[in-house]
Structure 1
Amino acid sequence: ECAKFLSGKGYVAINGAGPGIMRAVSEGAKEANGTAVGVTFYPKDITNFEGRDPENPVDIEIRTKNYLERTMKLLELGDCYVLFRGGTGTISEFGMAWGLARLYFGHHKPLILYGEFWNDVVRAFQRNMRIRPEELKVFKIADSPEQAYRAIQVFESVILEQDSPHKEERPFQLWKKVRF
């Protein structure tokens, strides 16, 4: 539902073109007559990777050479990140997006954690890791498509108004909706 809602607002759904949540994201985008982009890689020697789901209805597939390149391409193409419940890949992508948001705070891409369960995840990080208070300001937790959209809008308006020392150090091109 969230991907359908955001695609209806003009956002392109970009995911790893795999099964489960990734497939649901593409299907939601298609229901809203939106575009779904899949960023994939085809490992020959990795047995614990679900790979490309042939039933995931992406419009465009971008093939990468390995997992790291795939993750970096997902981060590069996204104008914002909405993270759903997933596995170790989601944890890895969250870590990279959170790290970039913290490093480039004030000029980072919106980071939305979708679902109430993220509150428990964040509390576990706070209890067990060295998390600075400002690191908790770079993301928002949403539990409905409307909340996710409002959070993206808030981030975009606040971040674009910031006079960040990192303005010229953009890790990726920001604020341009991807159109294919």
Structure 2
Amino acid sequence: MTQPKRRQGAVLLGGKEHAQPMADQALLEGREEHEWSQRDPWRVLRIQSEFVEGFDALNKLEPAVSIFGSARTRPEDPMYKATEELARKLVEKGFAVITGGGPGIMEAGNKGAYEAGGCSVGLGIELPHEQGMNDYISIGVNFRYFFVRKTMFLKYSQGFVTMPGGFGTMDELFEALTLIQTGKVTHFPMVLFGTAYWTGLMDWIRGTVAEGGFISPEDLDLVTVTDDVDEAVAAMGAPGQFGTV
């Protein structure tokens, strides 16, 4: 029986080494004071090295659009096919495509970009069980820390398309929206693709969050909800139109 494996940055762990805590987990766990003085300062250097590695790999990347979405979406799902088409049309417009590098929607985005002859970027993440990069990556970088990976998405994208997905997708969506809303980044276009999936969330935001005064009415304009691939591509503007972080 094949033993489970997972990546820890550039390192592949299997066998008993697979039981080592994930980097994010180790960072957040409480430690004895003497262990903190011995371990966390060194962890800062590891975090720094991940930033350096990511910046070095992506510094010459052309204007790009990030596609977020579920790792569980199957190739026969209409959303997989729509993501392939979306990525292909983004490449035809002059964009690179960035995904999380895994299966599902991420694979569909990379596949569409790769097969269209564009730059297809995968930003992988250490998980308890090896997920691995899909087969359609032009540039791939694996990360230990979610917050470093998120910085790469935000720094090197001029727009975001969010397909249906779970907690990870929601996390990426609201991280980007928070930075846009608060002016921490230049205004980026944000598309939610799949009206049947996203309408319930947007109704709640409009009817509860906005009406309760927790966000401004104009914050609703930060998001475009659509089922149309061409509308999603058009919402991204022209390559270089929107700045990066």
User: TM-score when scaled to structure 1?
Assistant: 0.76
CA contact (8 A) 1:12 1:29 kept: yes
Q: Which runs of 5+ in 2 are unaligned?
A: 1-84
The Cα shift of 1:59 comes to 0.7
Residue 117 of structure 2 corresponds to which residue in structure 1? 33
Q: 213, 219, 225: which is aligned to 1:135?
A: 219
Q: Which runs of 4+ in 1 moved over 6 A?
A: none
The range that moved more, 122-131 or 140-149, is 122-131
Q: 151, 159, 166: which is aligned to 1:80?
A: 159
- Matched to 1:121, the amino acid is L
- Matched to 2:145, the amino acid is N
- Give per-residue Cα distances to partners, 1:97-147, cap 9 Å, x unaligned: 111111129931111111212222211223443332111011212222210
Please give the alpha-carbon distance, in whole angstroms, between the structure 2 residues aligned to 1:72 and 1:52.
20
Please give the alpha-carbon distance, in whole angstroms, between the structure 2 residues aligned to 1:76 and 1:106.
9
Q: 92, 106, 118: which is aligned to 2:171?
A: 92
Q: Give the secondary-structure state (helix, strand or coil) at the position aligned to 1:70.
A: helix
Q: 10, 13, 17: which is aligned to 2:94?
A: 10
Q: Give the secondary-structure state (helix, strand or coil) at the position aligned to 2:191.
A: strand
Residue 121 of structure 1 corresponds to which residue in structure 2? 201
Please give the alpha-carbon distance, in whole angstroms, between the structure 2 residues aligned to 1:67 and 1:107.
22
- Matched to 2:201, the amino acid is V
Please give the alpha-carbon distance, in whole angstroms, between the structure 1 residues aligned to 2:234 and 2:98.
19
Q: 29, 32, 57: which is aligned to 2:136?
A: 57
The Cα shift of 1:51 comes to 3.2
CA contact (8 A) 1:19 1:56 kept: no
Q: Which runs of 5+ in 1 are unaligned?
A: 161-169, 174-180
Please give the alpha-carbon distance, in whole angstroms, between the structure 1 residues aligned to 2:219 and 2:185.
12
CA contact (8 A) 1:18 1:56 kept: no
Please give the alpha-carbon distance, in whole angstroms, between the structure 1 residues aligned to 2:147 and 2:132.
16
- Greater strand fraction, Structure 1 or Structure 2: 2
Q: Give the secondary-structure state (helix, strand or coil) at the position aligned to 1:153.
A: coil
Residue 69 of structure 1 corresponds to which residue in structure 2? 148
Q: Give the secondary-structure state (helix, strand or coil) at the position aligned to 1:123.
A: helix
- Give per-residue Cα distances to partners, 1:23-73, cap 9 Å, x unaligned: 000001122111110111224xx35xx7324x3411111222212211221
The Cα shift of 1:76 comes to 1.5
Please give the alpha-carbon distance, in whole angstroms, between the structure 1 residues aligned to 2:110 and 2:97.
6
Please give the alpha-carbon distance, in whole angstroms, between the structure 1 residues aligned to 2:216 and 2:135.
38
Query: What is the aligned-residue RMSD (CA, Å)?
Result: 2.4
